Amino acid sequence: MADKSSKLNTQAVLAMKGAGYYSARTRGAKNAIDKVRPMLEDALQSLPEQAVLRLADFGAADGGTSQEMWAGLIANLRASGDSRPIEMLYTDLASNDFSTLFRTMQGMQGDTTHAYQNSHENVFVHGCGTGFHQQLMADASLCLGFSATAMHYVSEKPCEIEDHVHMVGATPEERAKFSAQAAADWERILLARASELAPGGRFICLNFGIDEKGRYLGHTGGQSMFDNFTLHWRTLRDAGQITDQEFIRATFAQHYRTVKEFIAPFDNPSSAVRQAGLNLIGVETQLTPCPYNALYQEAGTKMSSAEYAASLIPTTRSWSETVFRTALDSRPEAEIQTLVDAFYSAYEQQVAADPSGHAMDYIHILMAIEKQA
């Protein structure tokens, strides 16, 4: 049995794969960010009158997926005659690959088209390796905060999920624990942003969640990605290749909040979040189609199902592998590598055999939040 009482620190298992692997394999994440640019453009119209324009990207990973958007926003600001110094703060966990991020912004990595530090004077890029559940900058100093696809990670796992890998397949009791953890985390996140934001400043975020139709990442019709992760992980257990404990320990430290859960802190004017001066100015849900599936559909007979599977599975691997590796962390590295390779290879073979219904469409809940002026 798993020890369900212990609080499990998740910091070590969250990091995305480094060296630019994350951005290269997550075109869907970039597409989702590019679609919310109008919400940020709108925020630029009413920025606080601070001497220094501080912007922040919370949970930015290697910065690659949001780089084009920030480059465009900064170019627009300068074109509008706003010459204030800009401080751009990228935050993520201490384990994040900040080196790639800094190299990317300075045009020292890959495609340099959007290396905005090279194109503008008075733009200063900083990094912060402290988690976003804490306040990360001085009171009332942030003009525009942004976060994409990051706040579904809970600060700690409230329990392991015994017969599934994700809260979407948890028992009602397990799910209630994740829900309570996510509610406490969301309040902490919002209160921290309330302190950081200057009056009139905005926080725009898009987070994985469950939409009005019950859809979520990789579960938008047809196959369910988290059920398939569970299926292949269970097969390794049933074949005696991993232990019962290793099976259970592969629990994603994530909670997909419903729209209701996201807006709960704003419902009541006497809530801590409202009292801290935050108001919700917009919420909507967004489906971003899986780019790999879109390519496969367009290619018709020019792409085989095996080629499609070989393009789809690496994108799931980019953000999920650390969970399965960590579950195996008492083993030598060579064994871990063999097991995770076998796991993803089995999933790839499943998709290659019958690709219908397999796609990683993104479901996001978008929110625009403003600090009272």
Distance of CA 115 to CAs 18, 36, 64, 112, 121, Å? 19, 20, 10, 5, 13
Chain mean position to CA 54:
22
Residue 326 in the binding site for ligand SAM (CB under 6 A) = no
What is d(CA 130, CA 110) in angstroms, rounded to the nearest whole number? 27
> Which residues, other chains included, contact 57 with Cβ-Cβ below 8 Å and sequence gap of 6+?
63, 66, 70, 88, 89, 90, 91, 146, 147, 148
Residue 196 in the binding site for ligand SAM (CB under 6 A) = no
Interface of this chain with ligand SAM, residues 82 to 101, rule: CB under 6 A? 91-93, 96
Instruction: Please identify which residue in 60, 71, 143, 365 interacts with ligand SAM, judged by CB under 6 A.
Output: 60
Residue 148 in the binding site for ligand SAM (CB under 6 A) = yes
Residue 47 in the binding site for ligand SAM (CB under 6 A) = no
Task: Closer to ligand SAM by CB, 11 or 305: give it.
Answer: 11
Minimum distance, C-beta of residue 32 to ligand SAM, in the bound complex (Å): 7
- 10 Å Cβ neighbour count for 268? 11
What is d(CA 193, CA 204) in angstroms, rounded to the nearest whole number? 11
What is d(CA 109, CA 115) in angstroms, rounded to the nearest whole number? 9
Task: Closer to ligand SAM by CB, 50 or 67: give it.
Answer: 67
Q: Which two tokens stand for residue 230?
A: 């569970």
Instruction: Please identify which residue in 36, 40, 65, 177 interacts with ligand SAM, judged by CB under 6 A.
Output: 65
Minimum distance, C-beta of residue 35 to ligand SAM, in the bound complex (Å): 12
Q: Which two tokens stand for residue 203?
A: 């926080």
Residue 316 in the binding site for ligand SAM (CB under 6 A) = no
What is d(CA 69, CA 40) in angstroms, rounded to the nearest whole number? 9
- Number of chain residues interacting with ligand SAM (CB under 6 A): 22
Looking at residue 17, the DSSP 8-state letter turns out to be P
Residue 36 in the binding site for ligand SAM (CB under 6 A) = no
Residues making up the chain, counted from first to last: 373
Q: Are 369 and 279 in contact (CB under 8 A)?
A: yes
Task: Closer to ligand SAM by CB, 102 or 247: give it.
Answer: 102
Which residue stretch of 58-66, 79-87, 193-201, 323-331 sits at the interface with ligand SAM (rule: CB under 6 A)? 58-66
Task: Closer to ligand SAM by CB, 91 or 195: give it.
Answer: 91
Instruction: Please identify which residue in 15, 24, 140, 342 interacts with ligand SAM, judged by CB under 6 A.
Output: 15
Residue 29 in the binding site for ligand SAM (CB under 6 A) = yes
Q: What are the contacts of 176-184 at 24+ separation with CB within 8 A?
A: 178/154, 178/255, 179/255, 179/261, 181/154, 181/155, 181/156, 181/157, 181/255, 182/154, 182/255, 182/257, 182/261, 183/261, 183/264
What is d(CA 254, CA 273) in angstroms, rounded to the nearest whole number? 22
Residue 174 in the binding site for ligand SAM (CB under 6 A) = no
Residue 230 in the binding site for ligand SAM (CB under 6 A) = no
Binding marks (x or -) toward ligand SAM, 334..363, rule CB under 6 A?
------------------------------
Residue 125 in the binding site for ligand SAM (CB under 6 A) = no
Which residue stretch of 26-34, 74-82, 161-169, 280-288 sits at the interface with ligand SAM (rule: CB under 6 A)? 26-34
Residue 67 in the binding site for ligand SAM (CB under 6 A) = no
Task: Closer to ligand SAM by CB, 156 or 307: give it.
Answer: 156
Interacting residues toward ligand SAM by CB under 6 A:
14-16, 26, 29, 33, 59-61, 65, 91-93, 96, 131-133, 148-150, 153, 319
